[in-house]
């Protein structure tokens, strides 16, 4: 059983569209991170959220941590082809430093 479920699994949209990716769990996380991974490369950290209800913005990307710290969302405004990649959420449980990764959302943005 996957601890962190992401939806949708796949998303193909056109440049300029908006999208939201969800990351859900029944577990409470002390912190949650979002990564983007491109083919042939390792995941690259986008953001870390630690407080329930926290919202962080990174240019066209908006990240939200649920009030109960069990879920998170990533919203992209006016998607660009450069946003194409595998988006992964990852949570830390309690004081443990290991991260539990979600199932991933593969995003493709076309012209």
Partner 1 sequence: DAGVTQSPTHLIKTRGQQVTLRCSPKSGHDTVSWYQQALGQGPQFIFQYYEEEERQRGNFPDRFSGHQFPNYSSELNVNALLLGDSALYLCASSLVARHGSPLHFGNGTRLTVT
Quote the least distance from Cβ 87 to partner 1, whole Å. Answer: 10
Q: Answer whether 21's CB lies under 8 Å from 9's CB.
A: no
> What residues from 17 to 46 belong to the interface with partner 1 (CB under 8 A)?
30-31, 33, 35, 40-45
Question: Rounded distance, CA 20 to CA 73, Å?
Answer: 7
Quote the least distance from Cβ 78 to partner 1, whole Å. Answer: 27
Quote the least distance from Cβ 62 to partner 1, whole Å. Answer: 19
Question: Rounded distance, CA 84 to CA 66, Å?
Answer: 25
Q: State phi, psi for 66 to the nearest 5 degrees.
A: -60, 155
Q: Does 92 bind partner 1 (CB under 8 A)?
A: yes
Residues in contact with partner 1, counted by CB under 8 A, come to a total of: 29
Select 13 or 93, whichever has its Cβ closest to partner 1: 93
User: What residues contact 49, with CB distance under 8 A and at least 6 apart?
Assistant: 31, 32, 33, 56, 63, 64, 65, 72
Binding site for partner 1 (CB under 8 A): 4, 6, 30-31, 33, 35, 40-45, 48, 50, 88, 90, 92-104
């Amino acid at each position: 059983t996957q601890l962190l479920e992401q939806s949708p699994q796949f998303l193909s949209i056109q440049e300029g569209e908006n999208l939201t990716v969800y990351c859900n769990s029944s577990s409470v996380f002390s912190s949650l991170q979002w990564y983007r991974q491109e083919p042939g490369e390792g995941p690259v950290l986008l953001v870390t959220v630690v407080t329930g209800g926290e919202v962080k913005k990174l240019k066209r990307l908006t990240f939200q941590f649920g009030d109960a710290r069990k879920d998170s969302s990533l919203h992209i405004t006016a998607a660009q082809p450069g946003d194409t990649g595998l988006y992964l959420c990852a949570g830390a449980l309690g004081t443990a430093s290991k991260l539990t990764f979600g199932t991933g959302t593969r995003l493709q943005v076309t012209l």
